[in-house]
Copies of this chain bind each other. A is one copy, B any other.
């Protein structure tokens, strides 16, 4: 099995927050949303069904944990959870806080418009929430 490495496109769009038991946790660097990303540290995984059953359960646990952190942030009215990978095959799951009237509402955020990076990603509300979790 090859070593785990995060796709360079994912790296360029994110800020690393933590390593949870299965996934590397990132802030997706778009200040218009509270947007997290889970990248399971399993080389070669593309779909959730590529993970073994134990990892699948752990991924759900981590989706739920990240969901709870994002749901508690100011202004979040709805969560969007998605695993697409049409542009970047490496398995990654988005968890995004949405609110009525956000730039892409009510459509999906993916492919909607260019991100507006946080001035200091380390200080984003989601970064603090993950640090304190």
Contacts and interface: CB of A to CB of B under 8 A. Distances in A.
For this chain, the copies found in one complex come to 2
- Chain A interface residue count: which class? 20 to 34
A112 to B, nearest CB: 9
Interface string A104-125: 0111101100000000000000
Q: Which of A63, A86, A111 has the most CB of B within 10 A?
A: A86
Interface string A52-89: 01001101110110011001000000111111111101
The A interface, classified by DSSP as helix, strand, loop or mixed, is mixed
A99 to B, nearest CB: 10
A83 B86 contact: no
B56 A84 contact: no
A111 to B, nearest CB: 4
A20 B108 CA distance: 28
A53 B49 CA distance: 19
B83 A81 contact: yes
B84 A82 contact: yes
A47 interface: yes
Contacts of A82: 80-84, 108
A48 B63 contact: yes
B84 A108 contact: yes
21 contacts: A46-B78, A48-B67, A49-B64, A49-B79, A56-B61, A59-B60, A78-B85, A79-B83, A79-B85, A80-B84, A81-B82, A82-B82, A82-B84, A82-B108, A84-B108, A86-B107, A106-B111, A107-B110, A107-B111, A108-B108, A108-B110
